[in-house]
Structure 1
Amino acid sequence: MKMLTPNQLNSLNFSGGPGALPETVLDQVREAIVSVPDVGLSILGISHRSDWFASVVAELETNIRVLLGLDKGYRVLFLQGGATQQFSMVPMNLLRGSPVAAQYLHTGYWSGKALPEARREGPVQVAWSGEASGFSHLPTDAELALDADAPYLHYISNETVEGLQFHRVVGRDDVPRICDMSSDFLSRPGEFDRFSLIYAHAQKNIGPAGVTVVVLRDELLQKMRGDVPTFLDYRAQADANSVLNTPPVFAIYVILLVTRWLRDEAGGLPGIAAKNAKKAEVLYKALDASRGFYRGRAAAADRSLMNVVFTLPGSDVEQRFLDEAADAGFSGLNGHRSVGGIRASIYNGLELSAAEMFANFMDDFARRNR
């Protein structure tokens, strides 16, 4: 691989996660590792019990509520364990002991990971599965078999492995919606007040690994069970303002910087959504113009604006594509280990210019190898 500067490497990071961070945020992080402005200590050495960190948590909660358009009837928590821990926490708090099945949508790899964890706690009904079609598309409303008595409906808004994304809110308004938004959180506007609980690990769009944001209604919090371990009890975490134990101070601070960037520089969620849509348009145009050389996995109506997933004609050609892309400075393009192929992740921090450069590379490679 030819030698590239750190800034060039960061700017061409198409990894499925951790994803690229905005350059202005990286500059602030670099400074904070040495000394946080107005504090004088490294971010790596500031106490989670300090007044300064309490102000970080308070501002971050406010920023997230404002960006999502939610009122103070929602709590915002910063937890550990990633989305994988939420696969267990949700049913432990909402399903354990229930005689009625929770409903789950099985739309891809990650929603499949949530199912066995839920079944440990109570009955589960798969309201729709795309497994028979190889997870190539998402359900229409008419295909969903939804139960008005279910304790909740769980689904994933964006399947990173298959490149599928819901472009609407699904489910019944009289059944609590639980949504894993890990890979498209704070990437576009939405009707977030129609959800009872949203969770998102940070390392796609909003920060480094180590922290998971949970946004939940107060009224749902009040209905939760009391027979779960304290660390896994949303109520205990809320009562402790996300410092029940030592939290990932550094990761939480980086998310704060990203929310400020979204608010002050990116134009809020409408602004970042326009940028993300343009990046996706550029890459899907290259895919569609290849006359079948690049083969998208997802049905056109369900294509993800975060993860452009495709294959090439044969494993040898795919490997050559990856090798040449690496030599050109593009990183993180390998498809998920479960499906292979190519995956270009275009999260918030990736610039439009990077997507345009990659689209040009795709066009050139197709001409030379068709």
Structure 2
Amino acid sequence: MPSNKPNAADFGISIVNSGAGQLVLFRYCDAHFPPIRARLVSTTAAITEAISVRYADLDVQDDETVLAALAEGQERAVAAARAAIPAIAAAAGLMTDRLAGGGRLIYVGAGSSAGVAVQDGSELPGTFGIARDRIVFLIAGGLAALTDIDGAAEDDIASARQEIATLGPLDRDVVVAVSASGSTPFTLAAAEATKAAGAALIGIANNADTPLLTLADRPIFLDSGPEVVAGSTRMAAGTAQKSALGLLSTLVAVRLGHVHGGMMVGVRADNAKLRERARRIVGTITGAREEAAARAIEASGGDVKTAVLICAGADAETAARVLAGAEGNLRRALATIADR
């Protein structure tokens, strides 16, 4: 368990027999030192299934010690996403190219990984203005499985292939397949089918050298290690996935021109809070007073980028035309208006 100072008992190796073969359990050192990874001798087992000796007495510890252990796992998860930044950047370039070319963004997942994927994708239309019909979710067991996880659906290869067949041409699309194990049958089958149909494939997994990462055009390995509660990948693995997906989709939004000066200029202002945010964004960028910003937003039909251009001196029709010519990039559109 986490402690203030490391001692000899914090280090060592235990070997136990499991159904999958021998399991080597490396103890972790104190949280201030780099963790020593547990690993499975069996080639069919996953590091996310490993049992960490560091947390073997978790259930007999006091509440704060248990929470400290869980927090330690979360911290490792965020660190794993940071370590994957080069891979995430490479994936973002591919995703940006596909979306800029009019393609769809297709998320694939099962179980808790599906929940993380849907959480990321469902935010993109409202936050960045990406059209909802360009975001597709392929979830084992369907969207109903997000609230009532269907374990058997994770093995349903036929269902994955059938769903892919309904999507039509995929050669302009990009797929983000997420699987902690890197070998979930539904996710892997969907990834294989979409790639065979011409989609670009980004694979995210928490185990190295797995089928999904091998298949992916842009693999992202998140080295979150063994879970505090062995196999509970909704914890560290899920946090690492959430962090990586947030980094990935936000970078893509930046590159597509949906962020200007650190502000979400693609935001869909469809409630009171977001309308107020939209007014602040327009006012901050243009210096317009609140009343003028509100009028511009109304004239633009709630489109923040168009409202900014209106406040910069364009009429609504010109603003829309210039913005389209700039492929939705507000900075380029503003430069065009300034040059007129």
Length-normalised TM-score, structure 2: 0.32
Q: TM-score w.r.t. structure 1 length?
A: 0.30
User: Which structure shows the bigger proportion of residues in helix conformation?
Assistant: 2
Rg bigger for which structure? Answer: 2
